């Protein structure tokens, strides 16, 4: 009954948020036009030309009412989008056509996001249950609210990336391991890799680095602390690594085969995505890849203002000033959540297992794919929403526990949480989709 009570609260919080943003947010809560068109073109192309006619790869264009015959797109097959990653949308389009896809697709994405929030909240509850200073249900509600209302989550509601499926499968795998269902955990990790091979590769590298570092440090024997919980004391760590990297290898192999037989096609080089191809005007360096901490780009504060507005318009200056303050506030709170993440890792055995791989993956993309993060920061940064929610919640709980009494800590916790939630909604409303 306690779980049902928490689930009811999660769904109620999310439903209230969706209703509010549908009513007041300038960009609403449904797919953006460019995203709806791109998804439809991708799945309709496969439907018309055969789901494996181009080895399962498809187009990734947002043109409206364009011809989708294979002959028209021989040189424009996108080798990063595959039939397996589009299966839910293929199913909706195949059975009900475009109307079904555009109506049910956004609802499906919202459902996945909701499920991700429930998973991170429930895992957070497990992580702090032995030393929480506030009722557990209250702590997990706060964690869920921080995740669901964050600007990174709002971007996925408008135009979801495959990160939502990766996070869902990865967190589900962790929960399976925690419930001592190891086989299911491996399967879910494998599905996470199918959903997003890049994130699976980053997390696989994390676990490999953990094992390698153990040998470098003369057999420290501490690597078990960072692997998923397992029913056996000496479980083969290679299975965790294998379950993440196998789909990566299969995808890359399939992609290499497809490129030999599918004429033309498009795909960005790895050096272009890193930002060292020689023509990298979109690479903002480390600061460019870290701008997601503010919740959206700084140009969200500049886009609607002309030079004349800035030189003489008082209202334009006020709007810009307050917009920048809002983004700066969000960036400061994001940095605070990183401090909370550190404390959570130090304090909780489950936190040591769950947070470091996600944090490493986020750092991996920030460090190595500076151009990609500078251009597509909101898609890649969705994973940060889980780190943000758990880290910030733990930090606030730790601070409240330091006050004179638990009662006083709880009293001051309410306005702080409310203020952060309002700020996140404000930043989401400022954003343009990038």
pLDDT tens across the length of the chain (434 residues) = 588 999 999 999 999 999 999 999 999 999 999 999 999 999 999 999 999 888 999 999 888 888 888 888 877 888 888 899 999 999 999 999 999 999 999 999 999 999 999 999 999 999 988 777 788 889 999 999 999 999 999 999 999 999 999 999 999 999 999 888 989 999 999 999 999 999 999 999 999 999 888 888 776 566 778 888 765 545 578 899 999 999 999 999 999 998 888 876 666 677 777 788 777 787 888 888 899 999 988 877 876 555 555 555 778 788 888 999 999 999 999 999 999 999 999 999 889 999 999 999 999 999 998 888 888 777 888 999 999 999 999 999 999 888 878 888 888 999 999 999 999 999 999 876 54
Q: What is the pLDDT at residue 434?
A: 46
pLDDT of residue 79: 87
pLDDT at res. 234: 54
Helix (H), strand (E), coil (C) string for the chain = CHHHHHHHHHHHHHHHHHHHHHHHCCCCCCCCHHHHHHHHHHHHHHHHHCCCCCCCEECCCCCCCCCCCHHHHCCCCEEEEEHHHHHHHHHHHHHHHHHHHHHHHHHHHHHHHHHHHHHHHHHHHHHHCCCCCCCHHHHHHHHHHHHHCCHHHHHHHHCCCCHHHHHHHHHHHHHHHHCCCHHHHHHHHHHHHHHCHHHHHHHHHHHHHHHHHHHHCCCCCCHHHHCCCCCCCCCCHHHHHHHHHHHHHHHHHHHHHHHHHCCCCECCCHHHHHCCCCCCCCCCHHHHHHHHHHCCCHHHHCCCCCHHHHHHCHHHHHHHHHHHHHHHHHHHHHHHHHHHHHHHHHHCHHHHHHHHHHHHHHHHHHHHCHHHHHHCHHHHCHHHHHHHHHHHHHHHHHHHHCCCCHHHHHHHHHHHHHHHHHHHHHHHHHCCCC
Q: What is the pTM of this model?
A: 0.92
């Amino acid at each position: 009954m306690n779980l049902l009570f928490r689930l009811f609260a999660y769904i109620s919080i999310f439903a209230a948020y969706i209703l509010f943003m549908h009513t007041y947010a300038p960009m609403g809560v449904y797919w953006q036009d460019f995203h709806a068109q791109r998804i439809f073109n991708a799945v309709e192309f496969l439907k018309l030309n055969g789901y494996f006619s181009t080895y399962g790869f498809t187009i990734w264009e947002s043109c409206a009412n364009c011809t989708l015959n294979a002959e028209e797109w021989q040189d424009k097959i996108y080798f990063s989008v595959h039939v397996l990653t589009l299966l839910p949308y293929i199913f909706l389009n195949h059975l009900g056509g475009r109307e079904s896809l555009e109506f049910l697709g956004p609802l499906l994405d919202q459902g996945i996001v909701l499920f991700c929030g429930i998973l991170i909240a429930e895992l957070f509850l497990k992580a702090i249950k032995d030393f929480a200073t506030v009722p557990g249900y209250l702590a997990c509600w706060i964690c869920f609210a921080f995740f669901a209302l964050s600007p990174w989550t709002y971007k996925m509601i408008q135009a979801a990336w495959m990160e939502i499926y990766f996070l869902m499968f990865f967190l589900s795998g962790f929960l399976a391991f925690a419930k001592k269902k190891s086989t299911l955990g491996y399967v879910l990790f494998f599905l996470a890799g199918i959903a997003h091979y890049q994130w699976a590769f980053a997390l696989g590298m994390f676990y490999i680095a953990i094992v390698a570092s153990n040998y470098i440090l003369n057999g420290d024997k501490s690597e078990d602390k960072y692997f998923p919980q397992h029913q056996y004391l000496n479980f083969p760590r290679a299975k965790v690594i294998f379950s993440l990297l196998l789909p990566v290898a299969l995808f890359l192999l399939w992609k290499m085969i497809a490129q030999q037989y599918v004429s033309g096609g498009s795909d960005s080089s790895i050096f272009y995505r890193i930002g060292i191809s020689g023509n990298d005007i979109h690479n903002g360096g480390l600061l460019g890849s870290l701008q997601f901490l503010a919740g959206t780009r700084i140009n969200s504060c500049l886009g609607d203002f002309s030079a004349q507005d800035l030189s003489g318009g008082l209202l334009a200056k006020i709007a810009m000033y307050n917009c920048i303050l809002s983004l700066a506030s969000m960036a400061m709170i994001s940095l605070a959540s990183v401090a909370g993440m550190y404390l959570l890792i130090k304090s909780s055995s489950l936190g040591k297992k769950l947070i470091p791989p996600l944090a490493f993956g986020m750092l991996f993309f920030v460090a190595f794919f500076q151009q990609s993060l500078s251009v597509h920061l909101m898609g890649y940064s969705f994973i940060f929403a889980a780190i943000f929610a758990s880290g910030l919640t733990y930090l606030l709980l730790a601070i409240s526990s330091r006050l004179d009494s638990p009662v006083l800590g709880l009293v001051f916790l309410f306005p702080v949480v409310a203020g952060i939630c309002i700020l996140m909604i404000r930043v989401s409303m400022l954003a343009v989709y990038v």
